[in-house]
Amino acid sequence: MKIYLPTSASQGTSQTIPEGTSEDDAAAASGKAGHIRVVQSLIPLRLPSKQPQTLGTALNNVLPSIFPSRRSPLLAQPVLHGAVAPMSANLEELGRAAGFGDGFLHVAVVMMS
């Protein structure tokens, strides 16, 4: 599983933006655009108790500070292919239905306000 976490833009950086730079490039170069941190982890499909691994249990094991609950998203929501995924979703079934060709399940994290 690869988890994409939003991080804040660098504070206090000042750079000179060359002429002819687009707005998107200028925002990225100036440090105003956010960054993404990728966390990659191998997750077993079954828990030690032989129960199926859910998205919630996997995220709680890998990122307990962001996902303190295994059942409900309190601080952030997992997003797969642009749709919020339920924390109770079976990881094996998600891998079959939403896995990429590289063998990973790519999960974006959207912080709740």
Q: Look at the chain and report how many structural domains it folds into.
A: 1
* Cβ-based neighbour number of residue 60 at 10 Å: 17
* Whole-prediction pTM: 0.76
CA gap 38, 53 in Å, rounded: 21
| Burial of 103 per CB tally in 10 Å (0-12, 13-18, 19+) | exposed
Taking only the tens of pLDDT, the chain with its 113 residues reads 999 999 875 544 444 444 544 444 544 455 556 789 999 999 999 999 999 999 999 999 999 999 999 999 999 999 999 999 999 999 999 999 999 999 999 999 999 97
CATH classification at residue 45: 3.10.20.90
CA gap 34, 7 in Å, rounded: 6
Range of the domain at 35: 2-111
With helix as H, strand as E and coil as C, how does the chain read?
CEEEEEECCCCCCCCCCCCCCCHHHHHHHHCCCCEEEEEECCCCCECCCCCECEHHHHHHHHCCCCCCCCCCCCCEEEEECCEECCCCCEHHHHHHHHCCCCCCCEEEEEECC
